[in-house]
């Protein structure tokens, strides 16, 4: 097809023009019939957002993705270009990719009238058939629709009543394309009104010109819920003209969230070769976002983006890499103490309510990490709370953690330096009575590295359940008995 360069050749090829909405519909049907994946890389939307989107495409609708930040709204829109034909023909030189069989611009009409079957044809690849605009308060009607260009009028010596003096905005230049407006509520209400005609009648109006461009566009809008901020909202008549409103959401399960983070985290190849990451660490990091989404200190209307987990995972790798570089170690793993290095990735990803501001972003982030450890701990080891309850029974079941906690009760403590060598860390952990036996009891087949991580995890878990004390200092984390730590704080 790309060898076709004139309208005459295009007619001879039997090519037939389709509207972009028909194009999307036909290609979606073909992919569904062939069992092909339609939205690769989109995880957790298989039974919700993707079916809604496919129904909208089959209905030839414009659509609005409505949801909190970090819910892959723009990514869904960008993936739609894969449902377009590989290439489409247009009149060469046209600013708005005029259909050779039905031009709508003055340029396209004049070229067709002048050259007839010799009208030059160019081809537009699907990767170029996507336009995107971030809605900001300074966006004008001229930016989106167009305006009179006085420079063009002067250079071409044209009267302002001549259609050729018009400079088309980004929407007309996206003719026969997918056009996305992100954060629609941020667009001023008077600018949103300018979109009414385009969505309903499919035409545009520029200044006082009597022109009617029947644009062929699929509009995709993205927005946070209207009550998210006080910056603005979607005017009701505009929302009424957007045929399908699709609600997005955060991952509903840890496994889906893990897949997203694994896919999106940009881990350097050097880090991958140097550092081993366990499923335990990945689940703790992922759980932080889940804890934040239900925290009383975090603004739930703002949401907690999936970017929190992604950035935290990248920081966890970097914390382990930095420690290995300092110690000149050729291989290591992400230890529990390395998770202290993910705090900066949390503080900037959560918006706090008043109570959270009083606590401070650092302390809220530390608390979220602590809650995450507490939640994940019971998925790997027995719930310590259950043994606290059973103490009151006539024949109480002995806690599997008794030997470990007694070791600390005897005045023993551990100072876990952040930059501790792996061998030294293992020596410290093996020095805690009952810790190795506890892990072996529940994970007899664990590899040596994973066993060591689980031993460290037990200490963090016991501190999260207030069975031992954990104190974070500038260069180390100190574990000791709970009562001794309380008396120590009183002395301070």
416 φ/ψ angles, rounded to the nearest 5 degrees:
-95, 95
- Tell me whether residue 448 is in a domain: yes
Q: Which two tokens stand for residue 95?
A: 């600013």
More confident residue, 212 or 192: 192
Residues 383-419 pLDDT 10s: 998 877 666 565 667 889 999 999 999 999 999 999 9
Q: How many CA atoms lie within 13 A of 63 on its CB side?
A: 26
Residues 245 and 222: their CA atoms lie apart, in Å, by: 10
461 lies in the same domain as 362: no
Full domain range(s) for residue 277: 254-380
| Tokens 């009701």, residue located | 236
275 lies in the same domain as 407: no
306 φ/ψ angles, rounded to the nearest 5 degrees:
-65, -15
Sign (positive/negative) of CA torsion 98, 104, 107, 111?
Answer: positive
Name the region of 207 (left: φ>0; alpha: ψ -120 to 50; beta: rest): left
275 lies in the same domain as 209: no
DSSP string across 144-182: HTEEE-HHHHHHHT--TTSGGGEEE-TTGGGTTSEEEEE
Measured CA to CA in angstroms, residue 11 lies from 26, 82, 89, 97 at distances of 22, 26, 11, 18
Residues 415 and 60: their CA atoms lie apart, in Å, by: 63
**Mean pLDDT, residues 203-232 taken together:** 74
Tell me: pLDDT of 145 over 90.
no
169 lies in the same domain as 291: no
For the ranges 201-205, 209-213, 322-326, the maximum mean pLDDT occurs at 322-326
152 lies in the same domain as 27: yes
Residues 266 and 101: their CA atoms lie apart, in Å, by: 46
**pLDDT cut 70: percent of the chain above it:** 90
| pLDDT value, residue 228 | 46
Last residue in a domain, options 182, 215, 243? 243
**Mean pLDDT, residues 435-462 taken together:** 95
297 lies in the same domain as 435: no
More confident residue, 193 or 323: 323
Residues 11-67 pLDDT 10s: 999 999 999 999 999 999 999 999 999 999 999 999 999 999 999 999 999 999 999
Band (490; pLDDT cuts 50, 70, 90): very low
Angle between helices 254-264 and 307-327 (to 10 degrees): 60
Tell me: pLDDT of 337 over 60.
yes
Tell me: pLDDT of 300 over 50.
yes
Domain count, the chain: 3
CA dihedral of residues 382, 383, 389, 393 (deg, nearest 10): -10
Residues 81-97 pLDDT 10s: 999 999 999 999 998 99
Picking from 399, 418, 411, the residue whose alpha carbon sits closest to that of residue 458 is 399
77 lies in the same domain as 166: yes
79 lies in the same domain as 134: yes
292 lies in the same domain as 424: no
| pLDDT value, residue 2 | 66
More confident residue, 484 or 82: 82
403 lies in the same domain as 317: no
Residues 152 and 164: their CA atoms lie apart, in Å, by: 8
Q: DSSP 3-state assignment of 417?
A: strand
């Amino acid at each position: 097809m790309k060898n076709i360069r004139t309208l005459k050749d295009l007619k001879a090829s039997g090519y037939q023009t389709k509207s972009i909405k028909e194009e999307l519909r036909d290609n979606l049907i073909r992919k569904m019939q062939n069992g092909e994946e339609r939205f690769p890389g989109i995880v957790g939307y298989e039974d919700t957002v993707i079916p809604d989107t496919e129904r909208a495409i089959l209905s030839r609708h414009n659509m609005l993705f409505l949801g909190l930040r970090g819910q892959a709204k723009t990514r869904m829109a960008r993936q739609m270009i894969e449902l377009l034909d590989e290439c489409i023909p247009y009149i060469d030189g046209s600013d708005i990719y005029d259909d050779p069989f039905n031009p709508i611009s003055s340029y396209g009409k004049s070229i067709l009238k002048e050259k007839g079957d010799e009208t030059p044809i160019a081809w537009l690849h699907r990767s170029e058939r996507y336009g995107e605009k971030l809605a900001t308060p300074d966006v004008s009607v001229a930016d989106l629709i167009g305006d009179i260009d006085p420079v063009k009028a002067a250079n071409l010596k044209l009267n302002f009543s001549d259609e050729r003096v018009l400079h088309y905005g980004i929407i007309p230049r996206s003719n026969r394309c997918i056009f996305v407006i992100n954060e629609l509520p941020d667009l001023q209400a008077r600018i949103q009104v300018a979109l009414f005609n385009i969505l309903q009648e499919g035409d545009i109006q520029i200044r006082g010109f009597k022109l009617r461009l029947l644009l062929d566009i699929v509009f995709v809008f993205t927005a946070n819920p209207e009550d998210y901020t006080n910056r603005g909202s979607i005017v009701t008549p505009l929302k009424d003209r957007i045929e399908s409103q699709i609600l997005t959401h955060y991952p509903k399960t840890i496994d889906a969230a893990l897949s997203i983070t694994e896919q999106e985290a940009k881990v350097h190849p050097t880090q991958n070769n140097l550092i081993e990451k366990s499923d335990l660490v990945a689940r703790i990091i992922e759980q932080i976002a889940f804890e934040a989404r239900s925290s009383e200190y975090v603004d739930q209307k703002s949401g907690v983006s999936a970017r929190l987990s992604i950035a935290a995972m990248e920081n966890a790798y970097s914390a382990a890499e930095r420690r290995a570089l300092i110690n000149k170690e050729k291989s290591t793993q992400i230890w529990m103490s390395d998770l202290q290095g993910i705090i900066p990735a949390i503080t900037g990803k959560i918006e706090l309510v008043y109570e959270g501001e009083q606590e401070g972003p650092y302390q809220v982030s530390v608390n979220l990490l602590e809650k995450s450890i507490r939640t994940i701990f019971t998925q790997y080891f027995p719930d310590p709370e259950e043994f606290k309850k059973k103490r009151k029974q006539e024949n109480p079941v002995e806690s599997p953690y008794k030997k470990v906690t007694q070791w600390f009760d005897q005045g023993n403590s551990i100072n876990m330096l952040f930059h501790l060598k792996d061998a030294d860390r293992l020596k410290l952990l093996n020095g805690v009575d009952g810790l190795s036996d506890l892990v072996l009891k529940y994970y007899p087949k664990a590899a040596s590295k994973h066993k060591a991580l689980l031993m460290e995890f037990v200490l963090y878990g016991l501190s999260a359940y207030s069975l031992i004390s954990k104190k974070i200092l500038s260069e180390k984390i100190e574990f000791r008995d709970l009562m001794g730590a309380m008396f120590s704080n009183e002395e301070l």
